[in-house]
Structure 1
Amino acid sequence: MMKTVVQLIVVMSFLASLSACSNMIYRIDVPQGNYLEQKDIDKLRVAMTKEQVKFVLGSPVADNPFDNDTWHYFYSLKGGRGNNFEKQLIVEFKDNKLQDISGDFNKSEDFNTPLDI
């Protein structure tokens, strides 16, 4: 009986030490998509051309052959320690001019003021 208790204690301490080692394993962060900052979004103005928007933000994540007037920018970070992060921006055009933006970023106060003025 005493031998079984000692074996059980040894097994339990071994399992506890294994679970403590799992936190020491390095896990890589996996970023995907377009990383955007609010300062980039603040540069956008209504009536900008698609080329101007692409210059400021870069190319969208994916092209939609059925709706060329809506661009989707998406960024996700799967952190190695479980700290996941996601942000998206939807840019809408009408007649090749920037009409509106929506998503996880704020519009700047100057968004509705075209660059030409």
Structure 2
Amino acid sequence: MRSLLIPAFLALLLGGCLSVYKVEVQQGNVISQDMIDKLKPGMTRSQVRFVLGTPLVTDTFHPNRWDYYYYLRGSKEKTGESRRLTLIFSNDTLKSVVHGDQPGENGTQPPQG
């Protein structure tokens, strides 16, 4: 009887060690539809920064373009959800907003301004 208790106890003890905790991964700028709705052409860079926060990426070669990226992967999911928002400025005012991860996803080609 005793010889059965020790292996059963070890199996229970090691079984608890095998479960791995996976962390939810969230990176980038969290941007809601309400925040996007507040954007209007003609807003200054500081007004846009107030609404959306500082952009994750500012391109040295395209200073009139701000890119906001967001990635979320749940703890039990293998793949995550990613979003991208590109803002184009002209003369330090907002000219256009492009949604999506793929060029032409919403019917427009992202400008290279």
TM-score, normalised to structure 1, is 0.66
Pick from 62, 66, 70 the counterpart of residue 57 of structure 2: 62
Pick from 93, 98, 107 the counterpart of residue 97 of structure 1: 93
1:88 alignment partner in structure 2? 84
2:33 alignment partner in structure 1? 38
Q: Match of 2:70, SS?
A: strand
Q: Match of 1:91, SS?
A: strand
Q: Whose RCO is larger (CA < 8 A, sep 6+)? A: 1
RMSD across aligned C-alpha pairs, in angstroms? 1.9
Q: Match of 1:77, SS?
A: strand
Which runs of at least 4 in structure 1 moved beyond 3 Å after TM superposition?
none
Pick from 20, 39, 42 the counterpart of residue 25 of structure 1: 20
TM-score, normalised to structure 2, is 0.68
Shift of 1:56: 0.3
Cα deviation code 1:36-56 (max 9, x no counterpart): 000000000000001100010
Unmatched tracts of structure 2, length 5 or more: 1-14, 101-113
1:52 alignment partner in structure 2? 47
User: For 2:53 and 2:63, how far apart are their aligned partners in 1?
Assistant: 16
